[in-house]
Structure 1
Amino acid sequence: MIDVVAYDAWVKKGAQPTETVAALYKRFTSGNPFPEKKAQLSKKAKAKLAAEQTAKETPAPASAEAEVTEAVAAPVEETVAAEATQE
């Protein structure tokens, strides 16, 4: 911590603070001397987030798979019906 009253007294007497002390004084007088840092994602977390976002944006493969399943099921039913009529 910095003693703001003593700092002001020394500056009034002509003292010149170092860059470090001047920066600390500025931080303490700003009202938020130690602002919270924003959490930064790791490379793995960024990759995972990007993968999740692309998965949400592209649901087409799931619907295409369902169409293929329906297309395969239809010919099987037709062949079973054709065999039944031949007998």
Structure 2
Amino acid sequence: MPKVYIFLDALDECTQRSELLDVLEAVAGWQLQNLHLLMTSRKEQDIESSLKGYVDEGDTGCLQSDVVDKDIQRYVQQRLSDDKSLIR
């Protein structure tokens, strides 16, 4: 059976968040071995509470903003030094 991967980015930006969380809970209840979900979101209490019911703690990760900010800063500095059209 083929594996199915679904990527959902920025759950916290969904305007119909409650409905989305209900759908995700229903999909998780199907317990399909070939279905894999990857979801991203800012830390929001309602999202964390909802996912806690069917996502194992070991299957979660947190990108701390200070780590991400440093990566973004390095990237911007590198682009500014490499691309002379950005000199201004």
Shorter-chain TM-score: what band?
under 0.3
**Structure holding more helix per residue:** 1
TM-score normalised by L of structure 1: 0.28
**Structure holding more strand per residue:** 2
Whichever of the two has the greater Rg, that structure is 1
Higher RCO, 1 vs 2 (CA within 8 Å, ≥6 residues apart): 2
TM-score normalised by L of structure 2: 0.28
